């Protein structure tokens, strides 16, 4: 039981550390600056305000992934829900 608990704690620390490392060194711009965690609805609303349609979002723990279309092309982006920072974004290729 003690080993399991220790393993879970170490795993949580490593996972949280990885997320912080990605946020710190990801170099991505801030997609939504709010000072609070970002929601899927906020990501969807911002994309729609930028002219994107058929916006679909999913959340995987800390990260929000969005797929949307504009001018017949599909764009993908990933946003850190804690910081609002873009982790991955291929919309500029459209």
- Hey, where are the domains in the chain? 28-93
Starting at the edge strand that comes first in sequence, how are the strands of the sheet with 73-80 ordered? 53-60, 63-70, 73-80, 86-89
* pLDDT greater than 60 at residue 87: yes
Give the DSSP letter of residue 71: T
Average per-residue pLDDT for the chain: 80
Instruction: Give pTM, 2 decimals.
Output: 0.67
Backbone angles phi, psi at 21, to 5 degrees: -65, -45
Separation of alpha carbons 4 and 11, rounded Å:
10
Give the mean model confidence (pLDDT) for residues 5-21: 56
* Model confidence pLDDT, tens digit, residues 33-78: 888 999 999 999 999 999 999 999 999 989 999 999 999 999 999 9
The percentage of the chain sitting over the pLDDT mark of 70, rounded to a whole number, equals 68
């Amino acid at each position: 039981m003690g080993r399991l608990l220790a393993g879970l704690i170490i795993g949580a620390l490593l996972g949280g550390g990885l997320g912080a490392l990605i946020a710190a060194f990801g170099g991505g711009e801030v997609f939504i600056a709010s000072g609070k965690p970002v929601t899927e609805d906020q990501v969807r609303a911002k994309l729609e305000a930028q002219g994107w349609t058929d916006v679909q979002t999913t959340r995987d723990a800390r990260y929000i992934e969005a797929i949307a279309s504009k001018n017949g092309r599909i764009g993908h982006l990933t946003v850190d829900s804690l910081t609002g920072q873009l982790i991955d974004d291929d919309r500029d290729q459209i």
